[in-house]
């Protein structure tokens, strides 16, 4: 029965897939040789189609979710993460812990920026909000790009609760990161800090703007008035 569900998902994916979308997806998600998602496989589903399949198969057992999250096909991994993100908020404490532990165990399948951004703010951040967050600091120092992005993106939930402390601390750890995807994520989260507390963001910028990669700085000040944007850019 469970195997039949996986086969049904794959059958539906085959029905919906568009081979004409694949080259664009491969280019957008950088799957070429030497790129950050080298070798990732797409079949050509839209995000909307993936979300619709996740809704249809929302009760998929964990054994089958494990199959999907380890799939070489990007959309299958995405479907598993959407199911878990939607299921998380309906679970009791024990159920949420199970989802969290499942994601940590199979985190190798969370290996592109859209996958990280699907699950980190929706599950990992909410789960850790009132718990020990040491795992995020461990990931912030990881050699693995996606673990570092998980670290900063998980703090998005904290920001929504007006808790900026760990976003700032992790941003400091990632300040000298060499990857553009981390520059963008950190800058984005700093901008979100500023949306809630402009003084808190400017305090960070006044201290670190001269050290920040230009992309990180540009993302952080994107919504600043032109005069302030020029001020911080001219510090570089």
Dist CA 198 CA 163 (whole Å): 14
Closest CA to 208 of 159, 179, 169, 178: 169
Closest CA to 195 of 234, 165, 169, 221: 221
Q: For 124, which DSSP code? A: I
What structural domains and CATH numbers belong to the chain? 1-128 (no CATH), 132-236 (1.25.10.90)
One digit per residue, pLDDT tens: the chain, 236 residues?
455 789 999 999 999 999 999 999 999 999 999 999 999 999 999 999 999 999 999 999 999 999 999 999 999 999 999 999 999 999 999 999 999 999 999 999 999 999 999 999 999 999 999 999 999 999 999 999 999 999 999 999 999 999 999 999 999 999 999 999 999 999 999 999 999 999 999 999 999 999 999 999 999 999 999 999 999 999 87
82 φψ region: left (φ > 0), alpha (ψ -120 to 50), beta (else): alpha
Q: Give me 129's structure tokens.
A: 């909000």
pLDDT at 2: 52
Give the N- to C-terminal CA distance of the chain in Å, as an integer.
Answer: 60
pLDDT at 1: 46
Dist CA 62 CA 71 (whole Å): 14
């Amino acid at each position: 029965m469970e195997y039949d569900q996986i086969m049904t998902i794959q059958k539906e994916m085959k029905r919906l897939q568009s081979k004409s979308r694949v080259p664009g997806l491969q280019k957008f998600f950088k799957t070429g040789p030497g790129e950050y998602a080298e070798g990732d496989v797409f079949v050509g589903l839209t995000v909307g189609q993936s979300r619709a399949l996740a809704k249809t198969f929302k009760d998929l057992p964990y054994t089958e979710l494990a199959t999907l999250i380890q799939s070489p096909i990007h959309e299958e991994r995405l479907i598993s993460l959407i199911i878990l993100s939607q299921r998380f908020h309906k679970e009791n404490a024990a159920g949420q812990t199970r989802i969290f532990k499942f994601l940590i165990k199979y985190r190798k399948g969370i290996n592109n920026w859209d996958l990280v951004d699907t699950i980190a703010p929706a599950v990992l951040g909410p789960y850790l909000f009132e718990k020990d967050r040491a795992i995020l600091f461990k990931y912030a120092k990881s050699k693995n790009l996606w673990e570092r992005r998980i670290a900063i993106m998980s703090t998005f939930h904290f920001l929504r609760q007006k808790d900026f402390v760990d976003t700032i601390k992790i941003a400091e750890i990632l300040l000298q990161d060499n990857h553009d995807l981390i520059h963008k994520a950190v800058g984005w989260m700093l901008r979100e800090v500023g949306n809630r507390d402009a003084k808190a963001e400017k305090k960070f910028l006044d201290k670190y703007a001269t050290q920040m990669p230009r992309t990180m700085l540009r993302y952080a000040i994107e919504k600043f008035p032109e005069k302030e944007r020029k001020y911080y850019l001219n510090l570089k």
